[in-house]
Structure 1
Amino acid sequence: MKLNLPKLFVDKMKLLLGEEYERFLASYNEERFYGLRINELKINAATWLEQTDMKPYLQQIPWCANAFYYTDDVRPAKHPHYHAGLYYIQEPSAMVPVELLDVKPGHRVLDLCAAPGGKSTQIASKLQGEGILITNDIATERTKPLAKNIELAGVRNAVVLNEHPANIAQKFGEWFDRILIDAPCSGEGMFRKSPSMVEEWESYSVERCSTMQREILDEVAQMLAPGGRMVYSTCTFSPEENEEQIARFIARHPDFSVVPIEPRWGWASGNPQWVSSEAGAELSKEQLLSIARTVRLWPHRTKGEGHFVAVLMRQGQPSDRPQSVEPTQLSIDWSGITMQDHKTYDKVKGKAKPKGKPVKVKGAKVEELDCESIWQQFQLENVQLTGNGQLRAVMFGSRVYLQPEELPSLEGLKVIRAGWLIGEMKRNKFAPFHPLAMALRPREAARVLSLSADDEQLLRYLRGETIFVEEQQLQFNASVKKNGYVLICVDQFPVGFGKYLDGMIKNELPAGWRMM
């Protein structure tokens, strides 16, 4: 498809690229590249390659060991493995920032501009369930797909926020070991992938985006711990949003420096000559030359869309985080968690209670629920969680979340997910939610039904239908009664819950998660 590129953009690229401009322009008439990244929270790339029928259509992405190019005639989003969260479909160049963030298990990580969640799930895969991931987006409408992708990937140690960076900074001063800023930008690098960006380009002016990026960088800088690493990335070619932005940042924040990135796989070094004389005058010669340690991904040089990436480090000694230990049974702190049971309210008034709000009704009997005991009973009959350390249970209304114990209070912040959403207290019972199923390992479930990817029963389940199975098809991992919640799996990887009753499995897959 021939793109009608804005004249102002074309003229600017001619000036920047010189003799490379014709090659750059020709790239817009070439096919874009498609990529998927294996979710190593659930399966490693080598094992997935042994199982998938897509292998003949895949090619290794050189900068990401667990990611592959695929041809455009493959439809990975239609495969049941996608519904199990075994991989994430992601533009190949977009994988670079997290690869350069150098995330290790145990780190505290902030993904500031996170929606729709590709980079967050990539970070979570590297954390391997250790440490904490705070994933945030300021646009409320974008937090829904962000939360869903976190849950699909089976992430247990993430919090999803909908906040301005300044508000997050008030709670998390010098707290994070790693911060990713995939900054809002003019989007020039996405013209080939998303032609609609061409039409939107003028409304996302370079000047407007530069101002926004500068504010974000200044607010985020105060959240990085001494010795911590921060990655700033954009999908634009504009020097004002890239080299210039980094030059002005290190001038304002002398305790930050640029970490060199080796320009491999067709990547190009950042260009100090594109920094304005005004900004350059504020830097030492060494600081200005360090701008060349950033990288640009040009679509005519590499197999991906346009990106800019800079790695910044703050002076100081990095903190030592606890090392991973062998998984054991999780300890969950329920102290201070109580809930009033308003079932009498329903009978008295004949309508549902307002969600999460205690209501006093004259003559009605209100009882305090022992939430920990209710959870323990559910766990005894249905799941046995394993992991490291201790989690903290918190409740928003009737919903129950599990948080890493070291997480500070989120009070005053706009919280979309306060942690791992496991279910709700309902009628003196615990009702599990889909994110609990997606983050389980089959050995943690009392009852498991694992079906092959091409089994019609599995496809019926994914469409939201009731399915019927023989009792001997179930795998029992505990001495429990045969009826109860069953973890439905594809090739031993969870896709959701069902309720087994004498040969019938009632479908518990939420409507928004079903295969269309």
Structure 2
Amino acid sequence: MRLPELFENKMREILSDEFDDYLKSYNYKRMYGLRVNTNKISTQEFEKICPFKIDKIPWIPNGYYYDGSKEHPAKHPYYYAGLYYLQEPSAMTPASRLEINPGDVVLDMCAAPGGKATELGSKLKGEGLLVANDISNSRAKALLKNIELFGISNVFVVNETPDKLLNYYEEYFDKILIDAPCSGEGMFRKDPAIISSWEKNGPEFYAKIQRDIIVQAAKMLKPGGLMLYSTCTFSPVENEGTIQFLLDAYKDFELREIEGFEGFSKGRPELVNGSEELTKTVRIWPHKMEAEGHFLALLHKKGEKTSDITTDESYQITKTESDILEAFLKNVHMDMERKYIDIKGERVFYVSKYMKNLKGVRFLRSGLLLGEIKKNRFEPSQALALALREEEFDFTINFSVEDNRVIKYLKGETLDVSDIVEKGESGWQLICVDHFPLGWGKLNNGILKNKYSSSWRWQ
């Protein structure tokens, strides 16, 4: 691989005697990872049913390596059931090192395509609120799909600039994660195409963006809250330099130690003429760990933690009741307070009690989309199916993963299920694989009309 001379010289200066070992890492095989959705299945249960060879990632509690040259986990029904997310191992680290408790109100500032947001949402266990934001509309659409695939219901998916969010969310969040846009030096091995982008827009270009973002986020964090900043670059100006910038500008912030691992390297304050506190930051090197490159800093905002947020009554629930909707919901047994059902035209949402009045904010989803009311019927959404557990809906059809009808279902085909349903049974069915929901179907005389979302289908 041809590395830019300027980059090589900088890395030689940073790494000194380790530089040759770092260069050798470009000859190592790329590491592939998956992260288990512990809101749907425990790691112990996943290990029992996992259909391909996996090895534990030692510093990620729910992370595993797999052989990307042999295994294709994105082409398995368990992926479509939201049991895991495919993610590079070092990229799993930021969300694993930000402590999230059920009931927290959490912001993922630069969330697309969802690798970190899905882990944050999974940790919330359906309580509190996850605000997942990305400035790019196209990337935010991919983010929304991954969040819905993971079954995360207490979510607000936003497509805004940080300064716009600050107008609504000053000192609002218990936890914030910033996986900042960066020059991507840590991903050169994984994706050599990033090198040309680095040559066009180097570290100084991104450092300015990062400092704008981290300052806006700092103002949105509650006193007593935690903020984790991460990049996938080695550049000191983007890493230690950005953190020192925040510490100098906002004296109410301090660094916290990050839960360690033997392969982690301490931050280097001398590279930016920074304070000794910067040794509490962490850098992941590919010649020291089986992963690509990453940087992390955990920040605490001093001060008394403010009281828990209560419902903002200025959020306007349009309508909460519909006879057609109620006829369907009588078969749903997930924990749901009816006063937070929001009917807007044909579409029905279940919103978090922490939602604010956000008139003027661009967003893709405010809460869990339950479905749509169409003429005389209610059609449940794909998102609702993935948010449910099998036992939370009265009528289910469960296929074994070996049943070839699972793939046919995921491809959108009509199915004959007369061998596994009672004669005369009809209506909406929650379709599962090994008891994990996949989507909906409508049953009539032993034939299942496929209602799996066309945009999610197996290709």
The interval holding the TM-score normalised by the smaller chain is over 0.9
**Alpha-carbon distance between aligned partners in 2 of 1:78 and 1:304, rounded to the nearest angstrom:** 23
2:284 alignment counterpart? 297
Give the letter aligned to residue 153 of structure 1. F
Q: CA RMSD in A?
A: 1.9
Following superposition, the deviation at residue 385 of structure 1 comes to 3.2
Give the letter aligned to residue 73 of structure 2. P
**Alpha-carbon distance between aligned partners in 2 of 1:253 and 1:465, rounded to the nearest angstrom:** 58
**Alpha-carbon distance between aligned partners in 1 of 2:284 and 2:158, rounded to the nearest angstrom:** 30
Contact 1:187 1:236 in 2 (8 A): yes
Provide, for residues 285-307 of structure 1, a one-character-per-residue CA deviation record: whole Å limited to 9, x for no partner. Answer: xxx11000000001101111100
Following superposition, the deviation at residue 388 of structure 1 comes to 6.5
Aligned residue for 1:487, secondary structure, equals: strand
Determine what percentage of the aligned residue pairs are the same residue: 43
Provide, for residues 39-86 of structure 1, a one-character-per-residue CA deviation record: whole Å limited to 9, x for no partner. Answer: 0111111011112232xx211111211111112211111111001000
1:60 alignment counterpart? 56
2:324 alignment counterpart? 374
Contact 1:447 1:474 in 2 (8 A): no
Is 1:310 the counterpart of 2:297? The answer is: yes
Provide, for residues 212-259 of structure 1, a one-character-per-residue CA deviation record: whole Å limited to 9, x for no partner. Answer: 001001111111011000000000010000001101111000000010
Structure 2: where are the runs of 5+ without partners? 310-314
2:439 alignment counterpart? 496
Provide, for residues 283-330 of structure 1, a one-character-per-residue CA deviation record: whole Å limited to 9, x for no partner. Answer: xxxxx11000000001101111100000000012335659xxxxxxxx
**Alpha-carbon distance between aligned partners in 1 of 2:247 and 2:21, rounded to the nearest angstrom:** 33
Aligned residue for 1:202, secondary structure, equals: helix
2:194 alignment counterpart? 197
Structure 1: where are the runs of 5+ without partners? 281-287, 323-333, 339-369, 476-480
2:36 alignment counterpart? 38
Larger radius of gyration: 1
**Alpha-carbon distance between aligned partners in 2 of 1:189 and 1:63, rounded to the nearest angstrom:** 18
Give the letter aligned to residue 354 of structure 2. E
Aligned residue for 1:505, secondary structure, equals: strand
**Alpha-carbon distance between aligned partners in 1 of 2:212 and 2:425, rounded to the nearest angstrom:** 57
- How many corresponding residue pairs? 453
Following superposition, the deviation at residue 206 of structure 1 comes to 1.2
2:390 alignment counterpart? 442
Aligned residue for 2:211, secondary structure, equals: helix
Provide, for residues 334-390 of structure 1, a one-character-per-residue CA deviation record: whole Å limited to 9, x for no partner. Answer: 99535xxxxxxxxxxxxxxxxxxxxxxxxxxxxxxx84322111223xx31322766
Following superposition, the deviation at residue 107 of structure 1 comes to 0.6
Is 1:227 the counterpart of 2:224? The answer is: yes
Change (3 A) 1:388 1:375: closer
**Alpha-carbon distance between aligned partners in 1 of 2:453 and 2:150, rounded to the nearest angstrom:** 16
Following superposition, the deviation at residue 203 of structure 1 comes to 2.5
Give the letter aligned to residue 6 of structure 1. P
Q: TM-score, normalising length from structure 1?
A: 0.85
Change (3 A) 1:474 1:222: farther
Aligned residue for 1:215, secondary structure, equals: helix
Following superposition, the deviation at residue 419 of structure 1 comes to 1.0
1:337 alignment counterpart? 318
Mean Cα displacement is larger for which, 131-140 or 310-319?
310-319
Is 1:487 the counterpart of 2:430? The answer is: yes
Counterparts of residues 114-129 of structure 1 (less than 5 Å): 114-129=111-126
**Alpha-carbon distance between aligned partners in 1 of 2:237 and 2:156, rounded to the nearest angstrom:** 32
Change (3 A) 1:336 1:71: closer
Q: 1:170 aligns with which of 167, 170, 188?
A: 167
Q: 1:206 aligns with which of 198, 203, 206?
A: 203
Aligned residue for 2:373, secondary structure, equals: strand
Contact 1:448 1:474 in 2 (8 A): no
Give the letter aligned to residue 239 of structure 1. P
Contact 2:421 2:446 in 1 (8 A): no
